[in-house]
Amino acid sequence: MVYHEDEICLIRNLEKGDIGEISREERAQGWHVSDGKYAMRLKDQEEGRCISLVAEHEGSVAGYVNLYFRPLAGPFASLGYPEIVDFGVLEKYRRRGIGTRLMDVAEEIGFQSSQIVCIGVGLHSGYGSAQRMYVKRGYIPDGSGVWYQDKVCEPYGECCNDDDLVLYFSKEKCFT
């Protein structure tokens, strides 16, 4: 299904053929990824747990994002708010508006079923641009503090500044 198309990008559902392309491009950037991560997203989409979106720029995969309808972990899991998960734009496609378009579509889908959409973001410097983007888009911290490996990190508790160290945010639907 195509959700958005303009002169910058086309946004559609993740397909099996995208998995290898995304993984190859991310490994070329020095990221630690495996095809299994994207195969899991595709399976979750096929089973109706999420919508996995891909942005294409001039026929090549440029970015992706997933919207899970009922998150299984984090501060919003029991509340049933949709959660934006694993958002990324490949480095060579950044600063073109592709990430903004992906987020717009993911939020629009999420707000169809809820007044609140949530998101978790890593805390190390590799997530710096995402952290800034979420704040600029109106996301605010949920107030539960830092989470590590799907649990609240207790004050002065042990953690590692890796991809599992996360701060959660939410955004309320704006009625204009």
pLDDT digit string, tens, across residues 99-145: 999 999 999 999 999 999 999 999 999 899 899 999 999 999 999 99
Strand 83-89 and strand 2-5: pairing?
unpaired
Residues forming beta bridges with residue 88, ordered by sequence position: 64
Rounded to two decimals, the pTM is 0.92
Residues in the chain: 176
d(C-alpha 139, C-alpha 117), whole Å: 9
Fold of 2-172: Aminopeptidase (3.40.630)
Q: What are the distances in angstroms from CA 83 to CA 1, 7, 128?
A: 20, 28, 19
For the chain, give the mean pLDDT: 93
Please tell me the predicted confidence (pLDDT) of residue 176: 63
d(C-alpha 150, C-alpha 173), whole Å: 26
Please tell me the predicted confidence (pLDDT) of residue 2: 95
Residues forming beta bridges with residue 117, ordered by sequence position: 171
